[in-house]
A = this chain, B = another copy of it.
């Protein structure tokens, strides 16, 4: 159809005004007369004008693009998909648009993606850092005055904001619940020790065990890959111990599912012969059999929070680092055995 792009000058000519006036209309300036405004708007509609943000941005001092970058480490994980949706919701209604990229936990890819986003002139960045990300990687961004919000995983050492979940409190609550049910030997299963999230959840576990007078022992911390397979492996190691645990708080839901698989493979029923609690409350947690008792964090809410914080900082000019910790809550379902009342721990020990 039209081979040439229609510009502000074309509009000006057709409406019989100057390009400056058209520009004023575009930005909704109160300086322009109402009658000319309507006239110009009509012409824009007629000619099918589309605003060229790139050109505008070029002139504008600083980067006033209304683009915000979102980098997540695993979008196939519904946790992060929900998070992205939360971000999108507030970003969209603020008239921004989001660049979304997936790093698959690759630091190289993360670097590439962020570089590419910078070239496009994002006005802010929300990132759930890939494992092993160094604080220094974000130095150039903050030096350029681009606000950055780390989400889910913090970035200690960097002067950037973060939106985290109350991992420690969640772990404490979960352990307390298991203790209420009568468990005394409670394991912490899954996850790698080199992540912030692991440290926090483990710290909560440790504190709860000590506060309850059950004592903390390294033996009951059984690290493994934070995956279903890792859960199977961990539960296997737990069962091989001389003084077996009767319950476990798992690093995340994937590990918890794996733990259930592993129990079944040994003819043990999760929630009956061994109590399992997960972390995150992924979608499948409610529909699995047995339904998983887990510490729910609200990824969509975190996404929204992160976006709000970022927008605030973008508007504020000078980004002042800030940390938000979002609450979590224990969702009691079946895998912890609570639906069948207090347990006879000795009985469970014997059977397992």
Contact = CB atoms under 8 A, between A and B. Distances in A.
Interface of A: 1-2, 48, 50-55, 57-58, 65, 67, 75-76, 78, 81-82, 84-85, 88-89, 92, 95, 97-102, 109, 112-113, 115-121, 140, 143-144, 257, 283-284, 287-289, 300
**Copies of this subunit:** 2
24 contacts: A2-B144, A50-B115, A51-B119, A53-B119, A54-B120, A54-B121, A58-B58, A75-B84, A75-B85, A76-B81, A76-B82, A78-B78, A78-B283, A81-B81, A84-B102, A92-B101, A92-B102, A92-B112, A97-B99, A97-B117, A97-B120, A98-B99, A100-B100, A284-B287
Contacts of A54: 54-55, 57-58, 65, 120-121
Contact of A120 (B67, B102, B115): B67
Nearest to A80: B81
Interface of A, helix, strand, loop or mixed by DSSP: helix
A256 B101 CA distance: 32
Contact of A55 (B52, B58, B89): B58
Contacts of A119: 50-53
Given A54-B65, A92-B109, A288-B288, 20 more contacts: A1-B143, A1-B144, A50-B119, A53-B121, A54-B55, A54-B57, A54-B58, A75-B81, A76-B85, A78-B283, A88-B100, A88-B101, A92-B102, A95-B116, A97-B101, A98-B100, A100-B100, A257-B287, A283-B284, A287-B288
